[in-house]
Amino acid sequence: MTTKKIFRTEALIIGLGICLLFGSCKTNSHFQVVTRERIVLDDGWRLFKYSSAQLADNLIYDVRPEVKEHDDAKDADSRPTGAVVTEAGQPVLRPWILPTANDFIKDPMQKHQRPDGNPGSDFPFVQANFDDSVWEKVKLPHDWAINGPFQTGWDSEVGGGMGRLPVNGVAWYRKKLDIPASDAGRSIFLDIDGAMSYAIVWLNGKLVGGWPYGYASWRLDLTPYVQPGGVNQLAIRLDNPNYSARWYPGGGIYRHVWLTKTHPVHIAQNGTYITTREVSAHSANVDMEVTVDNHFTESVNVDVVARIFALDNNGIRQNEVVADFPKQECKAKAGERSVLKATVKITNPKLWGPPPTQHPNLYMAVTTVEMDGRVIDSYETRFGIRSLEFNPDKGILVNGEKIALKGVNNHHDLGALGAAFNKSAARRQLEILREMGCNAIRMAHNPPDPGLLELTDRMGFLVVDEIFDSWEQKKTPHDFHLIFPDWSEADTRAFIRRDRNCPSVIIWSFGNEVGEQYLDKAGAEVARRLYDFVKEEDSTRPTITAMNYAKPDMELPKMADMIGLNYQGEGIRQDPIFDGIERIRTPPQYDAFHTRFPDKVILSLETASALSSRGIYHFPVTSSLSSPARDGMGGDSKSCQISAYELYAVDFGSSVDKVFAALDRHPFVAGEFVWNGFDYIGEPTPYYEARSSYTGIVDLAGFKKDRYYLYQAHWRPDLPMVHILPHWNWPGRVGEITPVHLFTSGDEAELFLNGQSLGRKKKGEYEYRLRWDNVIYEPGELKAIAYKEGKVWAEERVKTTGSAVALNMVSDRTEMVADGKELAFVTVAVADNEGLTVPLSNNRIKFSIEGPGEIVATDNGDATNMESFASHSRSAFNGLVLVIVRAKAGVTGVIKLKAESDGLKDIQVEIVAKREFGFGH
């Protein structure tokens, strides 16, 4: 028998120090932040976007290969290809931008020297006296493409793959910064959480630097360029290429931007790193590494002191000091970086762990730098204490408890809000997922907004944090491969340093279905480099890459600590329909990988890619457990809608039922991440005429598809529930076979049609739904009574509704904070005279608002809907419309949202906009 190595890590972690983000401003503590300021720069921006990239200025980062041919609609698992070599036939700014990466390049010989000169300094947009008053006023986070218009048809510039929205192009953001004279002598930094993409920054006409990867969070040192005692002109140029992604990337400065001001001797960017060892309910050792930067011209001696406080459930720092790190002296040499290490033992720590069996307790370390007894910097680090164990036979243990990962993948867009990050929208997604029983998120396929990780830390989700969808090999002509050679080290190190204190992050993924899977040793070499970067920045968590092609005997699986499989566990294209085709076809792989890698934990990073449109049912219904979608087989290429019997999947995917069976048969697999949680903009496989995906468990508007209940039934076995599908309004099907399927957390159920029993059925082993495939349709009522261990467990009814006569309207909150950020999500349903939602209704609904609120967006979850998300009217899609409302900043009062539709009784909801500080944004 092989001796199995158990990968064990006891890490804890944290976050970005940040009072503004984490609510510590309202701390009761007397331990005050004194000298560091972190100012959010969301307001007061002006934007200009060129009408076409061809008309743009030539201040380009680099030339890009010309796109001669591009198949937007090719399968996601098509083999990636090699880079195209391009010669820069014109001056480019790349050499001036590369030095921004220097802090993240280990080998001093590889660091970049800034060339002489100051490109762009004579360009009008970077000048302080340039008149930008006619430019559009915008607030961050801002996505320049989300309001459309959608580009329709096969010849559109931006195709279905990238969401048919005008993401591509070149644009400038300008903002005036008022820097008081008292800031003279301080260090001043610009911190950008994310800008899409190829950002280049000028301050007061001087080129400062930039960062190409749109998902990275990065910092520029503005100090040499700042003029204290007046207005300073910031100008940021973005250049977002078409063909850069397989999904909607969004465009613009879509995350927050901050101005950080510190003493010249200060804690570095993401300059604390906290890990834990020997974690138990009785004690834990907390190790902390602090990096101090001395930007002074002379060397100084400082003391570094750190204290740990508990955070309460609202993220508020408690008064009591839980532990003190020993004071350390630091001889900070002029212009250099010093690293200090300290350890403290905490007794009876409150551990961080995922609900419902554990609680996500958090701590905050407050680290101060003192000079001559005076505090000159203070930095907050959110972290948690938990142990992780990765056991190849048992899976993942958090604080000693086995936690099967019931995860989903999510892209970064927030539906109708686009890529612009909004914490209350992200929290809504997590709450909907939690109600389903989901306990884990894979950040597909790029670093998320830091605010999302704050939420996963606070809510106790387990996270696979991921950085790349491509390495040197490309999936689309302008994806990350173009900058991989220059930026992969800096991007990887910066990513880990930013997120390594978050307790929710348990695994680092450094690639998704990369082309290097096909390249044997050469591909493995690329992986080894990335692996080393990750491990050098954080050795407490295992690494993974998502493999949809690499087999156990190939090179890539050797290159990460864990085995990450996409679709291979269930097998790929095993259906006879695929006989003879030249695509990936793979028999089920769990056992083969387990045998070949007995020391490695296997995790399914992508499962399912099941397809459905909420509320749409096509007939006949396949009798099989899982089927590809084709016309007459769950699909309909005319309407571009797919049947929600939830038995259909992309060609390389599998139905939910098939995935569950494969996982239950292989209990050594640590769990799964479903592709995917929420529908996203772009990648509308298999109908690229559409705008958004069909693979979500929840639609783009946040409405649950039937599949949601299949997951809930399996992932929350203790929640009494039974769900019936389809709806029961089939006037054209009287007398025809109309299958009825039930999803229940019980083990048995009886189905009744108009009071007549259609029989009682029991789930067999590896069965997850109950199906009555021969029901003859007649209008009336379907009733399901579910049983568990012989006792009545849950009941559900679905009735044939009357015609539409009214509207229902429900807001997910009755009060909100008047901060211009928090959002209310209002669901409007077309109803019959009993208040039942009328399934196929598509009535046109108009919205109006009174009081201190505004309608931000509307949506109905229909992947084919090409109306701007900004529209204040929309047709229902299968009975439902979503309205997203924001309270105006600083104005309190009652917001009244009204919905009207011809022939239907109108309706109104009220939401109170309040002054109190909230936590959701």
Q: Which spans of this chain sit near ligand GAL (rule: CB under 6 A)?
A: 76-77, 246, 444, 512-513, 548, 566, 606, 609, 650, 675, 683, 685, 695
CB of 527 to ligand GAL, least distance (A): 17
Q: Which residues are registered as beta bridge partners of 409?
A: 442
Q: Which is nearer to ligand GAL, 566 or 811 (CB)?
A: 566
Minimum distance between the CB of residue 116 and ligand GAL, rounded to whole angstroms?
43
- Joined together, the tokens standing for residue 750 give 């009886």
In the chain, the amino acid numbered 483 is I
Cβ atoms of 824 and 884 closer than 8 Å: yes
Which of 389, 489, 606, 796 is flagged as catalytic?
606
Q: How does 753-770 read in b/e, with b if 16+ C-beta sit within 10 Å?
A: beeeebeebebeeeebbb
Its sign, for the CA torsion 507, 511, 517, 520, is negative
Dihedral pair phi/psi, residue 9, rounded to 5° = -145, 140
Nearer to ligand GAL, 608 or 899 (CB): 608
Contact 625, 655 (CB under 8 A): yes
In terms of CB distance, is 443 or 798 closer to ligand GAL? 443
Q: Are strands 904-914 and 893-901 parallel, antiparallel or unpaired?
A: antiparallel
Catalytic-labelled residue, pool 380, 454, 489, 513: 513
CA dist 530 and 549 (Å) reads: 19
Residue 594 Cβ vs ligand GAL, minimum distance, rounded to whole Å: 22
Q: Which of residues 76 and 453 has its CB atom nearest to ligand GAL in the complex?
A: 76
Question: Which residue lies nearer to ligand GAL by CB, 685 or 800?
Answer: 685
Nearest CB to ligand GAL, comparing residues 197 and 609: 609
Instruction: Report the C-alpha gap between 767 and 745 in whole angstroms.
Output: 12
Shortest distance, CB of residue 530 to ligand GAL, whole angstroms? 17
In the complex, what is the shortest distance from the CB of residue 611 to ligand GAL, in angstroms, rounded to a whole number?
A: 9
Judged by beta carbon, residue 76 or residue 809, the one nearer ligand GAL is: 76
Residue identified by tokens 């696979």 is: 464
Among this protein's residues, is 850 annotated catalytic? no
724: nearest Cα among 689, 772, 653, 687: 772
Between 678 and 777, name the residue whose CB sits nearer to ligand GAL: 678
Taking the complex as a whole, the smallest distance from the CB of residue 891 to ligand GAL amounts, in Å, to 42
Phi and psi at residue 486, to the nearest 5°:
-80, -35
Work out how close the CB of 604 gets to ligand GAL at its nearest, in angstroms, rounded to a whole number.
12
176 strand-pairing partners: 233
- Of 650, 606, 646, 641, whose CA–CA distance to 624 is shortest? 646
CB-closest chain residue to ligand GAL: 76
- Which of 263, 250, 15 shows the shortest CA–CA distance to 145? 250
Question: Residue 684: is it exposed, middle or buried by C-beta count within 10 angstroms (0-12/13-18/19+)?
Answer: buried
Least separation in angstroms between residue 72's CB and ligand GAL is 13
* Cα–Cα distance measured from residue 112 to residue 92, given in angstroms and rounded to the nearest whole number: 15
818: DSSP letter: S
With contact defined as beta carbons under 8 Å apart, do 496 and 452 qualify? no
Give residues with Cβ within 8 angstroms of 69, minimum separation 6. Answer: none
User: In 3-state terms, the chain is what percent helix, strand and coil (to 5)?
Assistant: 15, 35, 50
Alpha-carbon distance values, 174 to 170, 200, 738 (Å): 14, 12, 59
Task: Give the H or E element holding residue 240.
Answer: strand 230-240
Task: Note if 606 is an active site residue.
Answer: yes
Q: How near is the Cβ of 98 to ligand GAL at its closest, in Å?
A: 29
Beta-carbon contacts of residue 403 (< 8 Å; ≥ 6 apart): 354, 357, 395, 396, 397, 439, 462, 671
Q: Which is nearer to ligand GAL, 23 or 677 (CB)?
A: 677
Identify any residues that bridge with 341 across adjacent strands, giving them in sequence order: 289
**What DSSP element (H or E) covers 663?**
helix 656-665
Q: Which is closer to ligand GAL, CB of 543 or CB of 548? A: 548
We find the least distance from the C-beta atom of residue 110 to ligand GAL, in angstroms, to be 31
Nearer to ligand GAL, 456 or 676 (CB): 676
SS in 3 state form for 24-67?
HHHCCCCCCCCCCEEEECCCCEEEEECCCHHHCCCCCCCCCCCC
Q: In the complex, what is the shortest distance from the CB of residue 466 to ligand GAL, in angstroms, rounded to a whole number? A: 10
Show which residues are catalytic.
513, 606
